Amino acid sequence: KAGVTQTPRYLIKTRGQQVTLSCSPISGHRSVSWYQQTPGQGLQFLFEYFSETQRNKGNFPGRFSGRQFSNSRSEMNVSTLELGDSALYLCASSAASNSYNEQFFGPGTRLTVL
Amino acid sequence: KNQVEQSPQSLIILEGKNCTLQCNYTVSPFSNLRWYKQDTGRGPVSLTIMTFSENTKSNGRYTATLDADTKQSSLHITASQLSDSASYICVVSGQAGTALIFGKGTTLSVSS
C-alpha cells in the first residue's frame, strides 16, 4: 500500500503571497489531519477532516484553511503569508476519526517564506 | 491547561548503550498515549500506542511504559544503534473529538 504523499516537498514564497499544499492519504483512509512543525513549537495541530467535513480545528488564524475532496485527498491553504509561517507542514491519515486509530504521516512540505 | 512535557530536550549516547526518555502530561481526561520517532527531514512514525489500562508496550528494542496515576510515560531504548538517532515525540490524546497534544520531543544522538 502506498503511503501518505504530500506535494510539493519544498516551497519558497514571499510575504503576502498565498500557498496551497496537497495531501493524498493512504488508500481507504478517510481522515486527514494537518500539522505545523517548527523548531521552537514542535508539532501543532491545524485541523482534521473526515469525509469532507472539518472535525476539529487548532488555534490558528483564519489565514489557514483546508478542505477535503470526495476521494479523501486534502488541501491546505495559507493566505497572506507571514515570515512566521515558515515551517514543515505535515499531513497524517488514519482509517477513521478516532483517537485510537494510528495516524500515518507523510514526508511533509517544507515552506519557506522570505 | 492540557500539556505534554518531555525530558531531556536532547541526549547523546554511545552506540550499544541503553537510554530512557521521559514524558509527563496533564491531559485529562486521558484516552491514549503514543510515542513517535521522527528522522530528520521525514514525517513521524508510530512506535507504540497505549491506553490508560496498559502499563507496558514493546516494539523491538523500544519499550514504552505508562503510569496513568502519575501521568508519566517513558520510552526505553535498548542496545542503541546509530539509526536510533532521531527526535522522539510523545503524543497524548484526550477525550474523543479533541485534538492530539504533542510534546516538543527529545532529540537523541547515538554516536559510535
pLDDT score of B94: 81
Identify the burial level of A22 via C-beta atoms within 10 angstroms of its C-beta, where 0-12 means exposed, 13-18 middle and 19 or more buried.
middle
Quickly tell me which residue has 489531519 as its cell. Answer: A33
> Would you state the pLDDT for residue A65?
97
- Condensed to tens digits (0 to 9), the pLDDT of residues A28-59 reads 999 999 999 998 888 999 999 999 999 888 88
Chain centre distance of CA B69: 17
Specify the pLDDT at position B96. 65
Chain A residues within an 8 Å CB radius of B93: 99-100
Counting as low any pLDDT under 70, the low residues of chain A are: 1, 97-100
pLDDT tens, chain B, 112 aa long: 788 999 999 999 999 999 999 999 998 888 889 999 999 988 999 999 998 889 999 999 999 999 999 999 999 999 999 999 999 999 998 876 667 889 999 999 999 9
| Contact list, A45 vs chain B (CB under 8 Å) | 99-100, 102
- Chain B stretch 83-102, residues whose beta carbon is closer than 8 A to a beta carbon of chain A: 89, 91, 93-94, 96-100, 102
Distance CA A36, CA A6 (A): 14
Contacts of B81 (CB under 8 A, 6+ apart): B15, B61, B110
Determine the pLDDT at residue A39. Answer: 84
Q: Min CA distance, A95 vs chain B (Å)?
A: 15
The Cα of A82 is separated from the nearest Cα of chain B by a number of Å equal to: 22
Separation in Å, CA A83 to CA A34, A80, A111, A112: 19, 10, 10, 8
CB contact A5 to B (< 8 Å)? no
Give the side-chain half-sphere CA count within 13 A for A37: 25
User: In chain B, positions 26-85, which contact chain A (CB-CB < 8 Å)?
Assistant: 31-32, 41-46, 49, 51
Contacts of A102 in chain B (CB under 8 A): 46, 49
